[in-house]
Structure 1
Amino acid sequence: MTLDLVDYERKAGEAVKAFWGSREAAKLKQIQTGKVDQGERACVTAGKNMDGFLALVLDIIKANGLSHAEIHQNRAMLTLPGYFRPTKLWDLLVIYKDELIAAIELKSQVGPSFGNNFNNRAEEAIGTAHDFWTAYREGAFGNQPRPFVGWMMMVEDVTGSRSLVKDSSPHFSVFEEFKHTSYLDRYNLLCGKLVREQLYTTATVLASACHAASSGEFVELSEMTGLKTFVTSLAGHVAAASARLG
């Protein structure tokens, strides 16, 4: 089986440019309209930061045999049933012949509050996956093979995300792998553990500095959590589903 990776490296570079460009555009728009949010919220509320990566994911899906599938991006069509809660809103759903093929989350974090935001993102990712797979086990999606469940995170590459973090755990020791690590290291550890524990098919973290608005540069932290692993795994899953379902 030959997979089409749709020139993903170039398109990822364009996605990085769009990521930083959309953040600046959101800031300027709020300044012009006089409705300025506090801090980085001015960028987050725009809601379009990861659209370039969403477009890359769509290209992978269409190029590997499921261009005729139901590919949902509209908010009204992005909810799936949960087990511990009634529903969960995703960023992208792919459904073909009434089978859930893929569910994907695209997240980002730009400073300065890396500590609180990392913990929130970790709790959200773990909780979402546990809820999803419990619902799957209980037949929420019918009797079907395991879908592709992906998580992608873009983190600002800056001193705050690269600096070593001090931990306080007075009663019991922190796991050794977390000691003397930065928040980027911890995102990498998180993604690796999410995959090893089979909570996500793939989990990817990318780092990029704000000056990449012109260059599109980004950094991958490991092969396991890199972009090529994400797109290859997604392409393979889509191609297999296309071959199986016809």
Structure 2
Amino acid sequence: MSAQPNWDNDALNRAVHTMWAARSQGTQSGKHMAAVEDLVIKSAIEACKGTPITFLRGEAATLPGVYRPRKNWDLVALDDDRLVFAIEMKSQSVEKISNNANNRNEEAIGSATDLRLAHKKGLLGRDRGDAHRPWIGYFFILEEALQSTRPARQQVSAALPTDPAYGTHPSYEDRYRLLCERLLENKLYDGACFLLSGTDPGAVVKQPDPSAGIDFGSFMASLDGYLAKYCANRT
């Protein structure tokens, strides 16, 4: 992995709390992540060094799939008719958290699997096959509150023994952190980021230890390193 950029944590904090403020007005517009997306785009432009990359957001950031006709991503970058990268950005408040957790996991796994297969089938532009492999990222912000950080009240059990990494009473923080770690470890995504943040404007955004590879600096270092190599070898 390339060296991590020197991130302005204040800028990240501001972007995350701008997201929470926008989210309080509703997520239907799909624009609540705009401030975080702006941070990623700014860094990507610098990494591209003048390469004419087009960034798409909202409804425009829709890509073809295999298991479904199309999927709307949150941030997509195109080089003419070639997909360069796609990022899924999610936030989770503690409201209805117990209803959404499994859906979030399944969606993350399915989206990456579908996009990887779409690439292999030549649906994502020129340079079909493994000559050019688009970078895929997963970015997740969880509200820090008692409901998300305390151990589960009921013991996790199944017909067979569960993965010891979850323990017996994993919190939602534990579950989402492990999700991001394993999406990265198993190469479903090239970059994954997990942030924990209270919704109060003064709350500090918390990140995992950089050694886990799912902090914001590691996420952006992976993307920027990919873009630098892509632009240097662009044909």
TM-score category by the smaller chain?
A: 0.7 to 0.9
- Give the CA RMSD over aligned residues: 2.1
- Contact 2:166–2:175, Cα closer than 8 Å, also in 1: yes
1:131 aligns with 2:75: no
Partner of residue 191 from structure 1, selected from 176, 180, 187: 180
Specify the alignment match of 1:169 in structure 2.
157
Q: How many residues align?
A: 225
Specify the alignment match of 2:103 in structure 1.
120
Extract unaligned runs of 5+ from structure 1: 27-42
Identity %: 30
1:69 aligns with 2:53: yes
The structure in which a higher percent of residues are helix is 1
Partner of residue 84 from structure 1, selected from 59, 67, 82: 67
Cα offsets for 1:16-75 (capped at 9, x unmatched): 221222234x2xxxxxxxxxxxxxxxx333533211110011101111125521111241
Q: How does 1:1-246 map to 2 (within 5 A)?
A: 5=5, 7-24=7-24, 26=25, 43-65=26-48, 68-75=52-59, 77-141=60-124, 142=126, 143=128, 144-165=131-152, 166-179=154-167, 180-211=169-200, 213=201, 215=202, 217-223=204-210, 224-245=213-234
- Contact 1:92–1:103, Cα closer than 8 Å, also in 2: yes
Cα offsets for 1:153-191 (capped at 9, x unmatched): 111000010011234534212211112321111111001
TM-score, with length taken from structure 2: 0.88
Cα offsets for 1:67-114 (capped at 9, x unmatched): 521111241x21111111111111111111432110011110001322
SS at match of 1:181: coil
Distance 2:64 2:8 in 1: 31
Distance 2:87 2:134 in 1: 10
